[in-house]
Amino acid sequence: MIQLYNLLEERHEALVKTLAKTIVSAIPNFKRLGKADLQSDLEHHVEAWCDGVATGGAERQEKYFKFVAKARSSQGFSMRDLVEQQLLIGSVVRKAFFDAFPPTDLNNVKVMMTGLDAVEEQTRASAGRLCDAVHNYLQERLREHEEYLQAEHGDLGADLSKFILFKG
């Protein structure tokens, strides 16, 4: 959808600023990041989102979400915070698209409906990719922890096969 991609490129800075305000007001935990960090994070996020819209590919988003999973998990963000952020991006883009293509004539309505479908599809796919990235990160951390426990404490515990049981 070329109109959506062009809109995202033309209004990139405005979208990032709107997103920063919206996310901080809707998800209080993001206040902890600081304005500059949130701004930088959202610039990368919007670029990855735009790339997904333009190419339909997920590589850039998946790479970005791996970073997000690691960074936000270590900062104590919940999965809910991360998913809400993702959903808010779709909401802000939807509003910008509606403003750019008001439904005053039939051509705009067709463009708007196609664009809104693309926004919804990208939002859904992005939320799924984010959940997968966080899940994979947590699974990897769990695996590392289990390996550590096995290496450090593998000899602890009772080996019940060595006990002889008597009837008494």
Name the band, by pLDDT with cuts 50, 70 and 90, for residue 131.
Answer: very high
Q: Which domains does the chain have, with CATH numbers?
A: 2-149 (1.10.490.10)
pLDDT at residue 149 is higher than 90: no
Q: Would you give the DSSP letter of residue 161?
A: G
Under 8 Å between Cβ of 61 and 49: yes
What is the C-alpha separation between 85 and 79, in angstroms, rounded?
10
For residue 160, pLDDT over 60 is answered with no
Segment 32-87, tens digit of pLDDT: 988 999 999 999 998 888 888 888 788 889 999 999 999 998 899 999 999 999 99
Q: What separation in angstroms does the CA of 67 have from each of 6, 41, 57, 70?
A: 27, 10, 18, 5
Judge contact between 87 and 123, C-beta under 8 A: yes
In angstroms, the CA 52 to CA 88 distance is 16
Is pTM beyond 0.85 here?
no
Task: Quick: pLDDT tens for 75-125.
Answer: 999 999 999 999 999 899 888 888 888 878 777 788 888 888 888 998 999
